[in-house]
Every structure is written in structure tokens, then in C-alpha cells.
Amino acid sequence: MTVYSAPLDDMKFVMNELLEAEKLAELPGFEDATPDLVDAVLTEAGKLCEEVLLPLNRSGDEEGCTYENGVVRLPEGHKEAYQAFAQAGWGSLVADPEYGGQGLPALVGAMVKEMACSTNVSLAMLPGLTEGACHAFERWGTDEQKATYLPKMLAGTWSGTMCLTEPQCGTDLGLIRTRAEPAGDGKYTVTGTKIFISHGEQDATENIIHLVLARLPDAPPGIRGISLFVVPKFLLKEDGSVGPRNGVTCGSIEHKMGIKASPTCVLNFEAAEGELIGLPHKGMRAMFTMMNDARLAVGIQGLGLAEIAYQSAVSYAKERLQMRSLAGAMAPDKPADPIIVHPDVRRMLLTMRAYAEGGRALAAWTAMHLDIAAKHPDEATRQAADDLVSLLTPTVKAFLTDIGSECANLGVQVFGGHGYIREWGMEQLVRDARIAQLYEGTNGIQALDLVGRKLGQNTGRLLRSFFHPGMDFIEAEMEKPEMQDFVLPFAKAFGRLQQATAWIAQQGLRDPEEAGAAASDYLRLFGLTALAYLWARMAAVALAKAEGDETGFYRAKLATARFYMTRILPQSSGLFAAIMAGKKPLMELEAESF
């Protein structure tokens, strides 16, 4: 069986000791976000996830959602669990207090999201999507729209979706056909079909507020002709309460590999009444607010699944008896030793641990810079923080979902044959993790975004937000003998990343296919190097606390950091060689020969 205990000690280490997040309380609007309050919030969230969400995870997967005559019902217990989650205010944690939010930092929200995704990623998606829709309203909605929709959505009474994909277009949204016709009084009728709409229909909320990409009659072709519309499932009465059904129906739900307790819907819009959000033909700009939120949230899904896979594998490895240790019997009173004594099992467990703890630091580092970009009084500081978030977003999404899938598969391997059997719960983690590499832009698209947009944006300004602190750290720590095990490997990977960046910049200007051929390997190299930077920083903190460490926490942190530097980070050499090989190995084979 899968097991999970909220990793509060490590979360507190990352926030308080690595990132010194107590400084966020100095920013306007975050005055109440003291370490004591944040600790209390995370403790209560952990209890909810362990006691309410986790027990429903397997049953929700086995039962799945039901569809009948356009009505979708969540698995047994999920509606009540969501409502308990919403009524306790967890869905409004980071939202604007003016509309009922609690105004806590995104960093706190990221930690709560991780725990929810570890314990029930299907259910966690419902408030997560609503949060993203609320951010779109906060950024682009009129005052009237904010007042109409945000209070109910933040309370969890209403939910939100994002409706982009159509049967003929996924990534290439310039091909969408859904149309919107002016209907007078600022209203529009929206007609078209959207697919792959998570929680597009469900029975947990009294209304669903769809954000829909569509074309106006005078829209220019392609991506520049898309507008964004608010289309509620139920129209609203003059007093803001729920009225008659709008012209949007669920045509079917998908039969999927994983996240089976999250309905993935086909939605048909038939002259559905809606209103414009943002400016005409500028819908992608507005939708990107929600999409970028979603990409960071999906990265945290990967992180959450890596964590529960790790914890479950450790629990199993300590109990499962098979063979004797190569060094001699470690449990002579038992018929065999627990498999955690075997080097290959330890390799798998340490890989999972290093990715989960490093990934948590990366997600938290990114989230804290979201907070700085939103609240810091100095414009230059806000810009630098926003640059780092923009640079890291594709890496957080792609790298953390890749390692989430890898960790889930490693967990199955630790369980052996039992991992392949449903009743042990590990195979569900593999299935649930797989979608995160696909939705909100496949990981290949994230890699293209990184090399094609982010590297050259503002003449390389975004890159400086990562390369400058990395170089400063190397220069400050290089000469310290106790840091050699951590700084030297990081410095080597950092140098490879710099060289690869320069090579892609030069070759990509000459031939865009060169950048495309390097993209996925480059994103992986960037992710590994970013984790190396954070692991080196965590090692520096742990070294200062290791003496007199009665709990063993800091010694374990140092051991995991050494494992990462010596057994995982060397992947950077192979990735660098693959990048430098150029496009020829990928492109010289004619299509007809495949």
C-alpha cells in the first residue's frame, strides 16, 4: 500500500533555512505570513491531505467518474472531500483578500499543492484549476466581473476551467474554430467544441465558470485572432445567484490511463451566452496568465507524486525481506535481510529522495520569486524576480513532471512484482504521473519555449537571473574545503550549461532546427544544473548545522547532496555531448525511411 506523511520538516527547512522565507512577511500584504502562522497552516493542510484526501485516492481510481445523459458524477466521497477542502478555505489560500482570499504567499500555496497532489492528484486538480481561473479574472477581468465571479469561486461554491483544446488543434491554438458572435449589451454567443477539459462537468460545485478561447467575426487569422470569453454553466440572475442552464453541455468523458477521479470532458457550446474578458483578439495574453499558473501547478503534481512514491518505496524496502546483504547478515534473527540493505535498492531510493527534495527546493524557489515579483516595493527587484520565474517556468513544468514519472516507475521497481499489482497502489502512481508530461503543453513544447523564447528574450536578460547568482555562489564557496564535494560538481555542470547556452544561441540564429534538436536535452541539463545549485546551497546550510545534529536531519541532507552530485549530476556530461552533436543525427534520416 502507498503510505504518506506530510514532509513538514523538509518543507520548513526549504522555506526557513534555505530560502529565508520569513523575509516575505516584510513585503506589503504579507505581514501576517510569519513562520509561526505558516507552520500552523502547513500542519493543518498535512492533516487534511493525510486523513481526507489520501483514503479516497485508490477508491477514486477504481470507481472513476460516471457519465449519464450529460451528467458527470465524481467517485464516492470526492464531492464531500472537495467541499470540506473548500469550506476550510484551502482553495482561497493565496487569493486577493478583497474578494474573500487569504492573501498568503504563493510559496505557502505551493507547499499545500504538493501535499494535495501527493495524496490525491485527481481531486487536487479541481481547486487548482479554479485558482488559475481566479488569477485570470484578477489580472484581466473588469471590476464587475471580479465582483460577480471571484467571491463564489474563491469560496469553492463555483469552480473554473480553461477551455483551449479542440479536436483539430492542441498546441497550435491558431487553428481553433470556436466562434463568438456579438449578441448586444456586451454579450456574445459562443459555439464550438472543446476537448480534454478537466473537470468540465462535475457534481461538486453549483456552477462551473468556463474560460473559453474563441474567434470573433472580424478576427485576424492565426493566434492573433483569438479572444477569451467567460461562459458559465448556469446563467446568473440579476442578484448573482444561479439561474437557467446555459448552452454548454458535456458530450462525453474520456476513458483514460490515469487521474480517473478527475473527469476529462468533451464540451459542446451551442450559442452559449458569454462575455469578453480582456481585449478583443488578445485572448492568448489573458489565457497565458492561467496557463503559466497551470504549468507551475503541473510541475508540483510531478513533485507530489515523486514524494509519495519515495515514501511508499522506503516503507516497503524496510519491511520486505529478501536475501542477505552482500556484506553479511544485517538481520541475523530473521530469515533474510530487508531489501534496503542492497546497493541497487539504495540507488533507487536515493535517486527518488534526491529528486523529490531537490524538486521541492526548485518549486519553492520559483514560488517565492512569484511573491517577490508581485509584492516587492522596488521595481528592479520585481523585474528580476519576474525574469527568474519566466525562465524557470518551462523547466519546473517539464523537469519536475519527468522526475515525477521516473520516481513513480522506480517505486514500482523497488516493490518488484508487488508494484505491478493494483492492490499495492504503486502502479496507480505511474498512471497518474504520466499525464503531467503531456498536458499544459507537452514537455517537448516546454523545451522549445525555453530555447526558442526564453533564452533570447530581452537580449538574454532572463538568463542573467539564473547565471549571475550561480556564478556568485561558486565564487563565494569555491575556496571552502568543506564545500568542495558540492561546489566543484556544480561548477562543472554550470560551465557545461553556459557553453551549451552559447552554442544554441549561435547555431539557433543560423538554423532554427539546431535549437529544436537541442531543446529537450538542454531543458534536462538546465533542470539538473538548477537542482545542483540548490543542493549545493542546501549543503552549505546543513554543514553549518551538522555538528550536534541529534535528529540526523542535516547529516541525511548532506548524504543526499553527495549522492546527487556524484550519481545523478554526471548525466550533464552526456546531455552536453548530445547537444553539441547538433541536428544531423536527428534530421538526416529521410521521413520515408522511418
By annotation, the residues acting in catalysis are 440
Give me the residue label for grid cell 513562520: 35
Helix and strand tally (H, E) in the chain?
17, 11
Query: How many C-beta neighbours within 10 Å does residue 342 have?
Result: 17
Q: Are the C-beta atoms of residues 302 and 281 closer than 8 Å to each other?
A: no
First to last CA, the chain: 43
Strand, helix or coil for residue 426: helix
Rounded to whole angstroms, how far apart are CA atoms 393 and 462? 12
Rounded to whole angstroms, how far apart are CA atoms 427 and 61? 11
* DSSP code of residue 396: H
Rounded to whole angstroms, how far apart are CA atoms 278 and 287? 10
Plot region of 120 (φ>0 → left; ψ -120 to 50 → alpha; else → beta) = beta
Cell of residue 333, nine digits: 534473527
Strand, helix or coil for residue 495: helix
Cell of residue 442, nine digits: 507537452
Q: Are strands 264-276 and 234-236 parallel, antiparallel or unpaired?
A: unpaired
Q: Where are the alpha helices (DSSP H) in 320-378?
A: 343-375
191 burial via Cβ count (<10 Å: 0-12, 13-18, 19+): middle
Cell of residue 558, nine digits: 548532506
Rounded to whole angstroms, how far apart are CA atoms 213 and 539? 46
| Residue 369 Cα distances to 19, 23, 112, 129, 291, angstroms | 10, 12, 17, 21, 18
